[in-house]
Amino acid sequence: MTDDPAAPCYITTPIYYVNDRPHIGHCYTTLLADVAARAQRLIGRDVFFLTGTDEHAEKVSRSAAEHGVTPMEWATRNAERFKDAFAFMGFSNDDFVRTTEDRHTTRASAYIQKLVDSGDIELGDYEGWYDPSQEEYVTESTAQEHEYNSPVTGKPLEKRTEQNYFFRLDKYEGWLTQQIESGAIRVLPEARRNEVMGRIRQGLQKVPVSRRIKEGDTDWGIAMPNDPAHRIYVWIEALCNYLTIVDTDDRRKYWPRDEPLAVHLMAKDILWFHAVIWPCMLCALGEQPPATVYAHAYWISEGRKMSKSLGNFIEIDQLRAYADRYSLDAVRWFLTTQGPLGSTDADFAHARFIEVYNSDLANGIGNATSRVGNMFDKYFEGEVTRTCNGEFGFPDGKALPIALAARDAAGKPVDDPTRTFDFAAASAASVRTSVEATGRVSLDEAAAAGIELSRMVDDFISYTAPFTLAKQLDEHEHGEKALATILYTCAEALRIASLLLYPAMPAKMADLWRTWDCSTLNDPDDPDSGFKAPLADLATWAHPEHGIRVGQTIRKGDPLFMRADPKEDPPAAETPSS
């Protein structure tokens, strides 16, 4: 991946089936893409973030028929639900593709025609185990292993024979192995990469890319170019969306012809399509493969797998109920930091939500910002009166006087009196950690770097006890200067922490920037309009332009997060209509 902070960056989510309404799983992957997109924009990159809906599936037309409407009406109804859910979640996607749109279907057909012309797609007979619930064929060994039931839904597989067009995936085995092994295509997390490599080593076979239209079929789907008796298999068509939507003059920079750049996010269920079939299709088309394919694990609910039959999906309305009580950013924070980002599933449990909310947010960044704002209000009428250079200390090099180490009732230091707090170095390290973790899509680690910096501020406050110092100003030669320096140090560290927390909690950080008059970072009234400089400058300690400055207003404002009562029942969602 490039180190150029201004380089283009393309982030995608799966496009979701519109047979049903969205749930936590769809919101989660799209949230990760949003957090990654915001983090990359903050770094200074030119980001294109795409999400959308996959509409030509058989299950969409089946479900439409069950509801007595046309497939298009049903697709539109559910696509709107996805759009609403994503707007509610505060996602900053640059576009939303519906695969029924012309801009997708025309280009997808052209790609398929190109593969037919190059001999990468050919006609042949196919017999295999078809999983109607997932709309895909599974291999004989997978079928056997799951006793001829769907490995995903457990529903029975069907033996199907059909004349099909096939993509010659087998031709690309050597190329793909080399791409993944060399890291040209990063398959993450590591455990998933090993699984994929293991399966590739068993050999790649031709994959069907069409199905023959049967009596009684609806005309839902895209016809095979030059052979209307066949319809393009929905999976193959859907994968093309990543390219169709940026295959225009002004967006081609997001899918350059000379280097892999795209980052595809998804869950483990559909990794094979993204890490194997799609890169090989791209190679056959003469295009670059994706740079990163990241497959996270699943959300489960109160310890159980979410499924239709158990009726325990965490629905959008439940997330709305949490957002109403604890704020949307608290929901975003919980999902980002506690979700199944790695290779193990994560549980959405109320008790855990409250624990994380109180510890990271109410007692963490919320408390730190409100204490510091409060002290500025109380001791300096809400105005910053001095800054300090780099390290904690006076510019003239003299150690801070005090009592700076917190004292016990008997006046003895309770901590090591020689302890130093090098916030300039610590904040630079937090920014490095966060940027590096963002590059690996370890967005939980990237966010945690912000919280750790705010915890260092808490430690510093306990150590320097500014509230004690404020009562003893006369006893110290430099009492007031010391107090102002301590508060400046806290505010500057929290300003930098807030930048690292912004991708996960954009609205709350914008609230803080308004209360603290941080208009040198971005426009606090329109935070999504962009930052005034790349993160490397914004997050430089005591930056002359973007740092906390003399004369800046810092007030207490409303607390960012109120403490939650662990005994309170989970917020109840209204039962959604189907």
Give contact residues for ligand MSP (rule: CB under 6 A).
14-17, 25-26, 28-29, 54, 238-239, 266-267, 269-270, 298-299, 306
Residue type, 550: V
List Cβ neighbours of 143 (8 Å cut-off, separation of 6 or more): 129, 157
Instruction: Give the shortest CB-22-to-ligand MSP separation in angstroms.
Output: 8
| Owner of token pair 């087998």 | 170
**Of residues 266 and 483, the one with the C-beta less far from ligand MSP:** 266
SS3 96: strand
Burial of 295 (0-12, 13-18, 19+ CB in 10 A): buried
Sign of CA dihedral 354, 360, 364, 367: negative
Give the C-alpha distances (Å, rounded to integers) separating 259 from 107, 182, 277.
21, 14, 19
SS3 content of the chain, % helix, strand, coil (to 5): 45, 15, 40
**Of residues 269 and 537, the one with the C-beta less far from ligand MSP:** 269
Instruction: Give the shortest CB-167-to-ligand MSP separation in angstroms.
Output: 15
Dihedral angle of Cα 260, 261, 267, 272, to the nearest 10 degrees? -10
List Cβ neighbours of 86 (8 Å cut-off, separation of 6 or more): 22, 27, 30, 51, 93, 96
Instruction: Give the shortest CB-334-to-ligand MSP separation in angstroms.
Output: 14
**Of residues 291 and 306, the one with the C-beta less far from ligand MSP:** 306
Instruction: Give the shortest CB-99-to-ligand MSP separation in angstroms.
Output: 9
Give the C-alpha distances (Å, rounded to integers) separating 298 from 84, 125, 472.
23, 36, 55
Instruction: Give the shortest CB-275-to-ligand MSP separation in angstroms.
Output: 12
Instruction: Give the shortest CB-135-to-ligand MSP separation in angstroms.
Output: 9
**Of residues 28 and 167, the one with the C-beta less far from ligand MSP:** 28
The first and second tokens of residue 450, run together, are 């912000």
The first and second tokens of residue 507, run together, are 């609205």
Give the C-alpha distances (Å, rounded to integers) separating 318 from 269, 308, 321, 575.
24, 16, 5, 9
Instruction: Give the shortest CB-68-to-ligand MSP separation in angstroms.
Output: 22
Q: Which residue is nearest to ligand MSP (CB)?
A: 25
DSSP structural state of residue 2: -
List Cβ neighbours of 1 (8 Å cut-off, separation of 6 or more): 291, 292, 439
**Of residues 341 and 469, the one with the C-beta less far from ligand MSP:** 341
The verdict on whether omega for the bond into residue 256 sits within 30 degrees of 0, i.e. cis, is no
**Of residues 342 and 401, the one with the C-beta less far from ligand MSP:** 342
Q: Which contacts of 73-76 are long-range, i.e. CB under 8 A and separated by 24 or more positions?
A: 74/18, 74/19, 75/18, 75/100
Instruction: Give the shortest CB-327-to-ligand MSP separation in angstroms.
Output: 22
Report the chain's C-alpha Rg in angstroms. Answer: 27
**Of residues 104 and 230, the one with the C-beta less far from ligand MSP:** 104
Instruction: Give the shortest CB-251-to-ligand MSP separation in angstroms.
Output: 18
**Of residues 133 and 363, the one with the C-beta less far from ligand MSP:** 133
**Of residues 244 and 489, the one with the C-beta less far from ligand MSP:** 244
**Of residues 27 and 453, the one with the C-beta less far from ligand MSP:** 27
Instruction: Give the shortest CB-1-to-ligand MSP separation in angstroms.
Output: 22
List Cβ neighbours of 502 (8 Å cut-off, separation of 6 or more): 38, 42, 509, 527
The whole-angstrom separation of Cα 232 and Cα 238 is: 10
Instruction: Give the shortest CB-412-to-ligand MSP separation in angstroms.
Output: 53
**Of residues 339 and 382, the one with the C-beta less far from ligand MSP:** 339
Element (H, E) at 451: helix 443-464
**Of residues 54 and 517, the one with the C-beta less far from ligand MSP:** 54
Instruction: Give the shortest CB-10-to-ligand MSP separation in angstroms.
Output: 14
Q: Compute CA 24 distance to the chain's CA centroid, rounded to the nearest angstrom.
A: 13
Give the C-alpha distances (Å, rounded to integers) separating 505 from 289, 333, 334, 451.
32, 7, 10, 12
